[in-house]
Amino acid sequence: MTVQNRKIGFIGAGKMGSALMQGIIKAEIVKPENLGASDVYEPFLNELNAQLGINVSTDNAVIARESDILILAVKPQTLSFVLENLKPYISNDKLIISIAAGVPLATYENILPEGTRVVRVMPNIAATVSEAASGISPGKSATSEDLKAALEIFSAVGTAVQLPESLMDAVTGLSGSGPAFIFPVIEAMADGAVLEGMDRKSALTLAAQTVLGAARMVLETGLHPGELKDMVTSPAGTTIQGVHALEEAGIRAAFMNAVIKASERSKELGKK
């Protein structure tokens, strides 16, 4: 299955769903008329229709019937209810992609008709600016073409990697929740510069660009982050003083614990 000329429908148009829709339109994966969304909140749907030119409905069945690829972007707590209601409109010629955090593939395969092709994906909010980091895991009935389609969609809005389902909770804790761990870092770095006398706008611009530049160096050089750190920490210099302050504050343990805690919560959601 290739994505071109296929109709993609979203069940749920909240923050993550709308971020993906914006990214898909921006990347020109499909034309707006081939993209649809359903949600209970009609004013928001109308706003999406006006902004993106996509088809909208408050009836999930309408979007399900009209879509070749159905992306489930609902909260994990409501997913089983949504699946039961969608079941009559799901056939084996449709690809189901879910981005619900923590919900295992077995949940979809047990509720939906036998042979339903399901792919589980954990993206993040950076899809809005085409910089998402997504983990992808195919279900037992998903074909290689289904996997290619999912990779095509999520690679167009960032970076996507295939992983075994056993690691999807770790993906949720790392990249799914990760942007929320980095935003306070950018804010705090800017606060430090403001304390030193810099204006807020300049401080935020420089802090955000610093994080972006550091990330690109890791991705593009292929060097270990420790090697890159050593490149800018000269003996008795300014940077090593800052690194020492971060180590004193336990920065490594704090970030490790953030990922672990978020991963654990993902596992809990999958059991409900």
Which of the 8 DSSP states describes residue 176? Answer: I
* Token pair belonging to 7: 């109709």
> What is the torsional sign of CA 232, 237, 242, 244?
positive
99, with CB counted inside 10 A (0-12, 13-18, 19+), is buried
Q: How many Å apart are CA 34 and CA 9, to the nearest integer?
A: 8
Q: β-strand 69-72 against 8-11: which pairing, if any?
A: parallel
Phi-psi sector, 204: left (phi>0), alpha (psi -120 to 50), beta: alpha
For residues 185, 186, 187, 191, the Cα torsion angle rounded to the nearest 10 degrees is: 100
Residue whose tokens read 């660009």 = 209
Could you give the domains of the chain? Answer: 8-168 (3.40.50.720), 178-271 (1.10.3730.10)
pLDDT in tens, the chain (272 residues): 568 789 999 999 988 899 899 888 888 889 999 999 999 888 889 999 999 999 999 999 999 999 999 999 998 889 999 999 999 999 999 999 999 988 999 999 999 999 999 999 999 999 888 899 999 999 999 999 999 999 999 998 899 999 999 999 999 999 999 999 999 999 999 999 999 999 999 999 999 999 999 999 999 999 999 999 999 999 999 999 999 999 999 999 999 999 999 999 988 887 76
Looking at the DSSP assignment, which residues form a beta bridge with residue 35? Answer: 8
The 10 Å CB-count burial string (b at 16+, else e) for 177-197 is bbeeeeeeebeebbeebeeee
Q: How much is the pLDDT for 272?
A: 65
pLDDT for 128: 85
Query: Identity (one letter) of the amino acid at 253?
Result: A
How far is the C-alpha of 55 from the C-alpha of 33, rounded, in Å?
6
